[in-house]
Amino acid sequence: MSAPLVHIEICNAVAVVSLDRPEKHHALSRQLIADLAQAIDDLHGERRVRAVVLRSTGDTFCAGLDLAEMQALDESETAAAERHRDAQSLGELYEKMLRFPKPLIAAVQGPAIAAGAGLAMACDMVVASQRASLSFPETRRGIVGGVVAPLLVFRAGAGPAGYLLLSGREADASTAARFGLFHEIVLPERLLERAVALADDAARGAPEAVQLTKRMLNETIGEHLSTLFSAGAAASATARTTESAAEGLRAFLEKRQPKWP
């Protein structure tokens, strides 16, 4: 059995959930997605926990989906069904985070890329280091960020979402804050301390009031997100069947510029 890729520490009313795949920059493999979903389920029923901080170690918050795993899947006989299943799993993880009844605070210390940026946006609040950034380079890989796009529109609006998704440019911490995607920017050495302090603040609210507030924000105002995640999963899976996707993934793994068909 593989070692867990997510670890939980609980101190008073706050749980700190740490992604633990630093050698791959916390790229979202199937196991990491499953382990994070399980951690959220475990904390759902943990009565002493009133708020949760999501963090990772090293210089990168999360490098997005595991592209090596993605390319290996494309060579399997059941690739079509598994592509769609993988995209659905990512959407289900985001939805689980949005429906989680306790405040989630992301502590972003470095680049949060594509689906990894989605993890931050699925949290209720984001504290970022001055070295943090967001980027959505899917089109440069010949693929479509169909699952993360609805979250980006929900959090930032259609204008910033179009700018980031279509340009593929990296948004530094100040730009991400201007778009409303980062809520506080702090010195790198104060990141975890500030995220835990914000979690402590959130934990002081009445649990039922906090839960109802999250439901109002994410399920009432964001009532179409579940449908959009499903549609986005289908779009992502379809895009993966193209020659452009195959070339984009090869080029990325071979560290060269793609030659689009």
Is the torsion defined by CA of 112, 166, 121, 228 positive or negative?
Answer: negative
The answer to whether the CB of 170 falls within 8 A of the CB of 111 is yes
- Spell out the per-residue pLDDT of the chain, length 261, in tens: 678 999 999 999 999 999 999 999 999 999 999 999 999 999 999 999 999 999 999 999 999 999 888 888 766 667 778 888 999 999 999 999 999 999 999 999 999 999 999 999 999 999 999 999 999 999 999 999 999 999 999 999 999 999 999 999 999 999 999 999 999 999 999 999 999 999 999 999 999 999 999 999 998 888 899 999 999 999 999 998 899 999 999 999 899 999 998
> Where does the chain have alpha helices with state H?
30-44, 67-74, 79-99, 115-121, 148-156, 158-167, 173-178, 191-203, 207-215, 225-239, 243-253
The domain 6-208+223-253 belongs to what CATH superfamily? 2-enoyl-CoA Hydratase; Chain A, domain 1 (3.90.226.10)
Name the 3-class secondary structure at 192. helix
The predicted pLDDT at position 219 comes to 86
> CA-CA distances (angstroms) from residue 21 to 61, 66, 69, 135, 191?
10, 11, 14, 20, 20
Using CA atoms, how far residue 154 sits from 69, 124, 183, 259, in Å, is 29, 12, 15, 33
Residue 60's φ and ψ, nearest 5 degrees, are: -115, 135
142: region left, alpha or beta (phi > 0 left; psi from -120 to 50 alpha): left
Q: CA–CA separation, 79 vs 77, rounded Å?
A: 6
Q: Where exactly are the structural domains of the chain?
A: 6-208+223-253
Per-residue pLDDT of 29-43, as tens digits, reads 999 999 999 999 999
138 among known catalytic residues? yes
Give me the pLDDT at residue 176, please.
98
Set 138, 184, 219, 247: catalytic member: 138
Q: pLDDT digits over 156-171, tens only?
A: 999 999 999 999 999 9
